[in-house]
Chain A
Amino acid sequence: MFAAENGLKGDPRLQAISDAIRVVPHFPKQGIMFQDITTLLLDHKAFKHTIDIFVDRYRDMDISVIAGVEARGFMFGPSIALAIGAKFVPLRKPKKLPGEVISEAYELEYGTDCLEMHVGAVPPGERVIVIDDLVATGGTLSAAIRLLERVGAQVVECACVIGLPEVKGQRRLNGKPLYILVEPREIDGCC
């Protein structure tokens, strides 16, 4: 579900956010038009708009946990958590979190990867938002949802700045609502 269809139609902040995102062709490999949010982070106003939109949406939804997917989810999640008084829980690549963790494998185009969360970070029944910069196939977010549900948490929504065409038209991911700010930028002309 895109923000523009859900109460923010015509909101100039969405255009500012979209304009601040840079497209890098053929990264990490040929044919991929990489949506680079680092330029959004360089634009203080647009970065603040991004956080404000998520905060406005989640502040009255009784959310107690923001779970951010490593590493770009770390750039957005904590600011949202701080503003709404929620905990921030990092979901990390294998072997990064010290102490006891639970792991969830997920599929990549070629091979598998794994997401980990600390045991005890999220008690059962807590209401959680999962955040990442971008959703493509939804594989990583699905793994995040499974991790949280395994400990009895309630995933209220998945939030992403950018949503690729694969998720366009989808309001849900694995039964969970998906909230996305902008579509991917395209490069004008040939490259």
Chain B
Amino acid sequence: MLVREQLTMSDYRDKDPLIHGIQSKIRVVPNFPKPGIMFQDITTLLLDPKAFKDTIDLFVERYKGKNISVVAGIEARGFIFGPPIALEIGAKFVPLRKPKKLPGKVISEEYVLEYGKDCLEMHVGAVEPGERALVVDDLIATGGTLCAAMQLLERVGAEVVECACVIELPDLKVEDMEYVSHLGLE
């Protein structure tokens, strides 16, 4: 059985004002990309320099000094949060991309969508065995993409320390999650 640890707002009680500030900047767009989905839009967070900085700072505070040498970001919104974290904690940034975007040799991991399948790719040689890695994305829903990301990293012998997301959706399915940390914004 895979263990899932979830940090929620109660673990960040002294950071409540910051978390509330971040949460208030996220915009909900109804019925995108299709009817019934309430899309959590982080672009409005990026328009508020203080709130965006607070978001990054919260992650950096958590991961600095933990000997993490890799921050892997999931295309495309993971590319927005991952590199600033990587730069601050002294880690490499590794983009995990949709098929055929990365040039040169890659490894691929397939994952299941609501209808059909998709695929995540990582460069061969980007991450070495034994490296401690963080996976970053803006949002976790079912966890399918994050699981594919973890698989890619573990296949090359890296240790996934944690998955970090700004937002978690309430209907997260627990079965396939390993170790997830989020800021508890729902």
Task: Please give the residue numbers on chain A whose beta carbons come within 8 Å of chain B beta carbons, in ascending order.
Answer: 22, 24, 27-28, 34, 36, 38, 41-44, 47-48, 51, 70-72, 74-76, 78-79, 81-82, 85-90, 92, 95-99, 118, 121
- B46 contacts A89, CB within 8 Å? yes
13 chain-A/chain-B pairs, Cβ below 8 angstroms = A24-B104, A41-B92, A41-B93, A42-B126, A44-B91, A47-B86, A78-B81, A82-B52, A89-B47, A90-B76, A97-B43, A98-B32, A118-B43
Residues of A within 8 A of B39 (CB): 98
- B100 contacts A79, CB within 8 Å? no
Interface majority SS (helix, strand, loop, mixed), chain A: mixed
Known: A90-B80, A98-B33. A47 touches B104 (CB 8 A): no
Residues of A within 8 A of B146 (CB): none
- B93 contacts A28, CB within 8 Å? no
Known: A79-B84, A121-B43. A71 touches B29 (CB 8 A): no
Q: Which of B56, B83, B90 has the most CB of A within 10 A?
A: B83
Q: Nearest Cβ in chain A — how far from B100, in angstroms?
A: 7
- A51 contacts B47, CB within 8 Å? no
- A41 contacts B33, CB within 8 Å? no
- B47 contacts A48, CB within 8 Å? no
- Nearest B-chain residue to A50, judged by Cβ: B87
Residues of A within 8 A of B94 (CB): 38, 41-42
Known: A44-B87, A71-B75. A36 touches B103 (CB 8 A): yes
User: In whole angstroms, how far apart are the Cα atoms of A97 and B43 in the complex?
Assistant: 9
- A98 contacts B87, CB within 8 Å? no
- B86 contacts A44, CB within 8 Å? yes
Q: Nearest Cβ in chain A — how far from B158, in angstroms?
A: 13
Task: Please give the residue numbers on chain B whose beta carbons come within 8 Å of chain A beta carbons, in ascending order.
Answer: 27, 29, 32-33, 39, 41, 43, 46-49, 52-53, 56, 75-77, 79-81, 83-84, 86-87, 90-95, 97, 100-104, 123, 126
- A79 contacts B27, CB within 8 Å? no
- A44 contacts B90, CB within 8 Å? yes
Q: Nearest Cβ in chain A — how far from B68, in angstroms?
A: 12
In the A-B complex, list the 9 residue pairs whose CB atoms are closest, starting with the nearest: A98-B29, A24-B103, A27-B103, A74-B79, A98-B32, A41-B93, A88-B46, A42-B92, A87-B47
Residues of B within 8 A of A70 (CB): 76
Q: Which of B41, B47, B92 has the most CB of A within 10 A?
A: B47
Q: With contacts A79-B84, A95-B33 known, what are 6 further pairs, Cβ within 8 A?
A: A28-B103, A38-B94, A42-B94, A75-B93, A82-B49, A118-B43
User: In whole angstroms, how far apart are the Cα atoms of A81 and B49 in the complex?
Assistant: 8
Known: A44-B90, A75-B95. A82 touches B76 (CB 8 A): no
